Structure 1
Amino acid sequence: MNSFKRASDINSGLTLIIGPVLVCGLLSVALFGCLACQSYLYFTRFKSDHVVLKATVSAVVLVQLGHFACVTSTLWTMTVNTYGDPSQLKVIPVAADLAIPLSAFTAFIVQAFYVFRLWMLSKKGFLPILCEMISVVAQISTLILSSRAFYMTDLTIFEDGRMELMTLSFVARAACDLLTTAAIAWSLYKERDCEIKSTVSMIDRLLKWTIETGLVTSLMALTLAILLPTLKQPDYFGLGLWLLWPNVVGNSLLVSLVAKQTDIKPKLTHVVQIEPSVAPSGQGLKKRHPEPFLFFVSRCAAGFARSIDEAWKKGANAALRLDWAV
């Protein structure tokens, strides 16, 4: 009976230790596959994007490639190398220690991109600087935490002693995401005051994806900030979510980029051509002109040339800002 009870205790321990990390690790690997597919679509569809934007996407993909290798190594260590001896998992594998700073760099790059987008749309410095300062606080907290993780001897003692840094890091990430999402959404909403429907359509698309992706990343960071201090230590469920979180952040960036609309110029829907032989003159008589007249009637202008000109200037300014922002 004692042997059966001991075996039951071992199986229960393995379930609580390996189960959450294994499930979240596999989901993280699947999300990395989604990230790779989206990056391929981005580089093939948006070849004319600015080199800085391409470099940002490349940096996220490369960092997440390293994170993918760390997650794979962690799963191998926990399911193969330590098979039958869960006591070895009192200290998390070195690959998981390396995954902590890599996840922080992914989040920092993505948040810096959204802060830059906010600055391009609002042309004001207070909120972008505030959001970037919050992101820097989260980054420094995570780097300090990761440097101490390499020297841990027991996961429970480590989490008890470093819980303030973990909570500060994820609360700062969530606050930065929420502030940036709300500010970008408001800035995009103000840009909708434009009569060119193609520009308005692109703004609506960006507004939708900004709110959805921003809420996903901020809610996940807030969930980690709440779960890590409250769950029973050692918190392997929180560790699993931590491994999953950066791939959610990276995919949120690629979704917002791949979903954008490339054509931001207004479409001229009605073209009326008056032949040279019937072009009206100022005296009410037919007058032959050397070139035919083309009258373009846009959806937003309602047939008035002055409205077309004003709408084009206003839409061009909005489109220029959006072109840099997306």
Structure 2
Amino acid sequence: MSTSSFDADSTLGALLIGTLVSFALFGVTTTQVYIYYRRFPQDSFAMKALVASVWCGESAHAICVAAALYKMLITNYGHPERLLVLPNSFLASTFFGSLVTFGVQTFFAYRIYALSKNLWLPYVWLIPCLCWALSLFRFIPPNIILFAYGHQPAPQFLGRFGPLFDAIWAASAANDLLIAGTLVVLLYGRRNAGLQLTVAMVDKLIAWTIETGVVTSIASIIMLVVFITLPSTFVWLAIFVTIPRLFANSLLASLNSRAALRHDNSHEFEFSIPKSPARLIGRNTSQTNQSHAVEHDRPDEHHEQPR
């Protein structure tokens, strides 16, 4: 990459914008983690550990991306030829980002297993197994290749491993669509067997599942398209550093949405049943006492009136 052919807008500028967006989403992630621990202290230790590990992975990813951006913008200032080799901190950020993505996809795959294990459908267990396999395919091969050959110049590295990364990111997008689609089908099956209040709750779960699953899938597809069409720019890297934030926020939004569902459900229940049994008993008791008092104060008609 010579100085005359160097385009700062499509390389460092794009990466800077992607990093800023990634940091903004990291703030959203931190806020959602705080909300989670405040609202759900009764959750299991495994769930709390998952949320803590996701936030720690996001923090490490943000630190590594910031260190890589500093080296590319400040340390290597005036040397565009050095941009052909990504810094070690950026390679480390790919590990933490893929670790977060793997944890979130594994969680949603387990949710598929938990929803489908009581349905007794033939071969339904193959879907979560396929999701776990695709998650491992996205996590293990890229990290091995990047740590082994990531110090090569970008044209040589992409010419050697570009098709493999195309397949990895395509598999990741397909995995997100498979998870979202399966969850929607399973929730819709439970919707038909529920009560009216349960149906409204399941409808909201279906809508949120579609939204979170489609966002991560669209981001992966866009990054894949940009990586194929514009491999000499850093536009795909700008999208790449934001994808772990989307996965983390989709997990936390799924967990924190339970509070909104409970609030809406109790609100609907309150308006659908205006009088609770306790209030009905209290009202009947008060009415009975009032009737007894009236009868007590009323003169007995069977007694003779005094002359």
Q: How many residues are matched?
A: 270
Which residue in 1 is equivalent to 2:20? Answer: 26
Q: CA deviation at 1:95?
A: 1.0
Query: What are the Cα deviations for residues 274-319 of structure 1, in whole angstroms up to 9, with x where unaligned?
Result: 647999xxxxxxxxxxxxxxxxxxxxxxxxxxxxxxxxxxxxxxxx
Which residue in 2 is equivalent to 1:200? Answer: 199
Q: CA deviation at 1:181?
A: 0.4
- Does the CA-based 8 Å contact 2:85-2:151 persist in structure 1? no
Query: What are the Cα deviations for residues 177-207 of structure 1, in whole angstroms up to 9, with x where unaligned?
Result: 1111000011111111345444333322221
Tell whether 2:242 aligns with 1:244. yes
Which residue in 2 is equivalent to 1:56? Answer: 50
Q: Secondary structure at the match of 2:7?
A: helix
Q: Which moved more, 1:193-202 or 1:168-177?
A: 193-202
Residues 136/18 of structure 1: CA separation in 2 closer, same or farther (3 Å cut): same
| Aligned equivalents of 2:148, 2:286: Cα separation in 1 | 85
Tell whether 2:112 aligns with 1:118. yes
Query: What are the Cα deviations for residues 238-291 of structure 1, in whole angstroms up to 9, with x where unaligned?
Result: 122111211111111111211222467894714363647999xxxxxxxxxxxx
- Does the CA-based 8 Å contact 2:86-2:151 persist in structure 1? no
RMSD (Å), alpha carbons? 2.3
| Aligned equivalents of 1:38, 1:198: Cα separation in 2 | 27
Q: Secondary structure at the match of 1:259?
A: helix
- Does the CA-based 8 Å contact 1:138-1:168 persist in structure 2? no
Residues 203/149 of structure 1: CA separation in 2 closer, same or farther (3 Å cut): farther
| Aligned equivalents of 2:169, 2:286: Cα separation in 1 | 73
Which residue in 1 is equivalent to 2:291? Answer: none
Which residue in 2 is equivalent to 1:86? Answer: 80
Tell whether 2:135 aligns with 1:135. yes
Q: CA deviation at 1:145?
A: 2.7
| Aligned equivalents of 2:16, 2:172: Cα separation in 1 | 25
Q: CA deviation at 1:149?
A: 4.2
Structure 2, unpaired ranges of 5+: 118-123, 289-307
Which residue in 2 is equivalent to 1:35? Answer: 29
- Does the CA-based 8 Å contact 1:174-1:219 persist in structure 2? yes
Which protein has the bigger helix share?
2
Residues 210/161 of structure 1: CA separation in 2 closer, same or farther (3 Å cut): same
State which structure, 1 or 2, has the greater radius of gyration over its C-alpha atoms. Answer: 2
TM-score, normalisation: structure 1? 0.76
Say which structure, 1 or 2, has more relative contact order (CA 8 Å, 6+ apart).
Answer: 2
Which residue in 2 is equivalent to 1:213? Answer: 212
- Does the CA-based 8 Å contact 1:97-1:149 persist in structure 2? no
Q: CA deviation at 1:137?
A: 1.7
TM-score, normalisation: structure 2? 0.81
Query: What are the Cα deviations for residues 123-164 of structure 1, in whole angstroms up to 9, with x where unaligned?
Result: 141211111112212222222232234432x11211121102
Q: Secondary structure at the match of 2:8?
A: helix
- Does the CA-based 8 Å contact 1:139-1:169 persist in structure 2? no
Which residue in 2 is equivalent to 1:45? Answer: 39
Q: Secondary structure at the match of 1:32?
A: helix
Structure 1, unpaired ranges of 5+: 1-5, 280-326
Q: 2:276 aligns with which of 271, 276, 280?
A: 271
